[in-house]
């Protein structure tokens, strides 16, 4: 491969990387520098969160991080974000319930509650599920 071919390949790779990065939206609530791990949602919203909080609040994340720590020899600074099977709005609400220093969001929309509940069940976040059940009892729900 010639120097020109290598240069074109690198330029093409950088362009593709730049395009994929441009499509990502960073959560203003969980911005870069906020945590030590990144999550990316189905709608390409990037969340920077604390591994310890996820590990403590979710059996799924605890298992993922336990297996990751056994496989890792050292810290990987360029670790790719973990892909989440939910949208950005739902993940933001879910994380707000999980973070102990945050006020639990008030959910008065049936669809929003259902989405957060499904995500909490998927990631086995029992504390979030408990808070959701409690808020359902205490909150009037708007019907569309």
Residue 74 has pLDDT above 70, yes or no: no
pLDDT value, residue 51: 95
Per-residue pLDDT tens over the stretch 25-50 = 999 999 999 999 999 999 999 999 99
What is the spatial distance between Cα 72 and Cα 47, in angstroms, rounded to a whole number? Answer: 22
The CATH superfamily assigned to 25-140 is Potassium Channel Kv1.1; Chain A (3.30.710.10)
**Residue ranges of the domains in the chain?**
25-140
What is the spatial distance between Cα 66 and Cα 52, in angstroms, rounded to a whole number? Answer: 11
């Amino acid at each position: 491969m010639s120097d020109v071919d290598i240069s074109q390949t690198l330029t093409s790779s950088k362009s593709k990387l730049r395009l994929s990065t441009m499509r990502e939206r960073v959560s203003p609530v969980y911005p870069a520098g906020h945590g030590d791990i990144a999550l990316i949602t189905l709608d390409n919203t990037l969340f920077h969160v604390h591994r310890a909080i996820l590990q403590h609040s979710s059996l799924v994340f605890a298992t993922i991080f336990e297996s990751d720590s056994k496989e890792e020899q050292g810290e990987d600074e360029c670790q790719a974000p973990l892909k989440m099977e939910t949208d950005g709005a739902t993940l933001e609400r879910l994380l707000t319930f999980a973070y102990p220093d945050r006020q639990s969001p008030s959910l008065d929309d049936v669809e929003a509650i259902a989405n957060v509940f499904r995500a909490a069940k998927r990631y086995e976040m029992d504390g979030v599920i408990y808070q959701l059940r409690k808020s359902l009892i205490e909150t009037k729900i708007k019907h569309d």
